[in-house]
Amino acid sequence: MPDRIRGLWCATLTPLGAAGEPDHARLAAHVTRLFGAGVDGIALFGTTGEGQSFSMAERRAGLDGVLARGVSAERVIAGTGCAALTETIELTRHAVTAGCAAALVLPPFFFKGISDDGLYASYARLIDRVGDARLKLYLYHIPQVTEVPIAHDVIARLLERYPGVVAGIKDSGGDFQHTRRLLARFGELAILVGHEPHLPTALAEGGAGTICGIANLYPRLMRRFHDRSLGGGYEEDLQRIETFIARLERYPLLAAFKALLADLTADQAWEALRPPLVPLAAAQRRGWIAAVAETGIVAERGTT
């Protein structure tokens, strides 16, 4: 297992088969293509991957399915958080046993307004019950979806009790001031941003990299953007990405991602989502694809 997650990781979209089940072969092919385009690793069944829309059994099988098709477990961080802690424990144990680089774990997200003690108890019980020294736990902060933020004092308590297990944080909150506070307080953790435009600043302030959605679509652009974020000269790519996101924000995020990936790969199967998410309506889809074309980001079309 690598010491820590760093660099450019893609929060992979999950393709669906005809009956609405995760399509392992298409997913593995997508991941292989991403790796070929310079992506360092993937986060499987995160929010972008509609992870919560799949059963525990589907998530287990999905991980097994991509590993069986040659994806290296060391390049996979498995989204294993569930509403029910017992399912989180089982999925996390499975990911550790499979040799995954790490487990990316949402807080239990059904109840709102949970206490710091309750959040701490959730992660502590997870770690205790998995009971495997190989576990590398990444805390998954995405309060605009979960409505359950991960308090910094809880992180500190976990880090004190479980050093070496609590390994990092995916900060998908989209608020860089929040990321900055994490970076300042938790220098020993690998902190990865979800919002692509934050990458240059995050890296400059000690961040480990990004786990992001746009890498599904434009992995080469994201690779270059990441590397130039370290080496200089990223401004033009940042502008491209910001323009893209400004258009994207007018559409349902995951439906727009999947419609665009279907377009870029000429593979209509990518259009499907599992309810409660649904594909874009035809007119909306046309508007979105046209909007993307206008941004000029499509220069990468055919090379993704």
* Among the residue ranges 121-129, 181-189, 205-213, 215-223, the one whose residues contact its own copies (CB under 8 A): 121-129
* Residue number with CB closer to its own copies (106 or 199): 106
Per-residue string for binding with its own copies, 144-183, x by CB under 8 A? xxxxx-----------------------------------
Residue 234 in contact with residue 222, Cβ under 8 Å? no
Of 2, 17, 36, 55, the one binding its own copies (CB under 8 A) is: 55
What is the number of residues in the chain? Answer: 304
Residue that the structure tokens 């934050």 belong to:
198
Residue 58 contacts its own copies per CB under 8 A: yes
Q: Is 269 exposed, middle or buried (0-12, 13-18, 19+ CB in 10 A)?
A: middle
Closer Cβ to its own copies, 7 or 213, answer by number: 213
Residue 109 Cβ vs its own copies, minimum distance, rounded to whole Å: 7
82 interacts with its own copies by CB under 8 A: yes
User: Could you tell me the end-to-end alpha-carbon distance of the chain, in angstroms, rounded to an integer?
Assistant: 28
Where does this chain touch its own copies (CB under 8 A) — which range of 66-74, 102-110, 212-220, 235-243? 102-110
Contact flags string 210-249 toward its own copies, x per CB under 8 A: ----------------------------------------
- If binding is defined by CB under 8 A, does position 86 make contact with its own copies? yes
121: contact with its own copies by CB under 8 A = yes
Minimum gap (Å) between residue 250 Cβ and its own copies: 13
Cβ 252 to its own copies shortest distance, Å: 7
> 41, 40, 44: which is closest to 52 by C-alpha?
44
Among 172, 178, 121, which residue's Cα sits nearest to residue 152?
178
- Given candidates 36, 110, 184, 187, which one binds its own copies under the rule CB under 8 A? 110
| Separation of alpha carbons 93 and 80, rounded Å | 9
- # binding residues, its own copies (CB under 8 A): 40
- For the segment 260-289, give every residue that binds its own copies (CB under 8 A): 274-278
Which pair of structure tokens corresponds to residue 13? 């979209």
Tokens encoding 65:
């399915």
Q: In this chain, which of 205, 252, 289, 298 binds its own copies, going by CB under 8 A?
A: 252
- Which of 79, 206, 49, 93 has its CA nearest to residue 139? 79
Per-residue tokens: 269: 């199967």
What are the CA-CA distances from residue 253 to residues 48, 55, 69, 250, 263 (Å)? 9, 22, 28, 8, 15
Distance CA 62, CA 76 (A): 12
Q: Is the peptide bond before 276 cis (omega within 30 degrees of 0)?
A: yes
Smallest Cα–Cα separation from 171: which of 186, 160, 159, 157? 186
Q: How far is residue 283 from each of residues 144, 157, 206, 288, measured CA to CA in Å?
A: 28, 50, 43, 9
Stretch that binds its own copies, among 7-15, 96-104, 105-113, 155-163 (CB under 8 A): 105-113
Q: Does the protein bind its own copies through residue 56 (CB under 8 A)?
A: yes
**Shortest Cβ distance from residue 161 to its own copies (Å)?**
15
302 binds its own copies, rule: CB under 8 A: no
The residues that touch its own copies, with contacts defined as CB under 8 A, are: 20, 52-58, 82-87, 90, 107-112, 114-115, 117-119, 121-122, 125, 144-148, 252, 274-278
